[in-house]
Amino acid sequence: MSVDKSLKLRSRLVRPRSVLTRSERLVILAESERWKEGDSIYGLPKVRVRHAKRKAARPKKEEPAAVPGAEGETPEKEKEEETPA
């Protein structure tokens, strides 16, 4: 017997979840100092789930690499000036 198409998991959950587990809520509440260690884990306040918006991948602009002597002087000239003749 085969599994119905509606029951198959397609790469698990694709969209973001709108409900957090208790442990996830405790972490968020502890960060915002609304829950302290030792407080009851029952009757927790609501926690808003914020979804990060995905931005389209933009190609990075490549900056020209720093080339020695790009500012007008070459490294050979600098060496000649430093060594006494």
pLDDT truncated to tens, each residue of the chain (85 aa)?
A: 787 877 776 666 567 778 889 999 999 999 999 999 999 999 999 998 887 776 766 777 776 666 666 565 555 655 556 666 5
Q: Which of 23, 58, 59, 64 is nearest to 44 (CA)?
A: 23
Q: Report d(CA 49, CA 23) in Å as an integer.
A: 14
The domain ranges of the chain are 17-48
Q: 0.75 cut: is pTM over it?
A: no
Determine the Cα–Cα distance for residues 71 and 85; give it in Å rounded to an integer: 25
- Quote the DSSP letter at residue 67: -
- Which is nearest to 26 in space by CA: 37, 12, 10, 11? 37
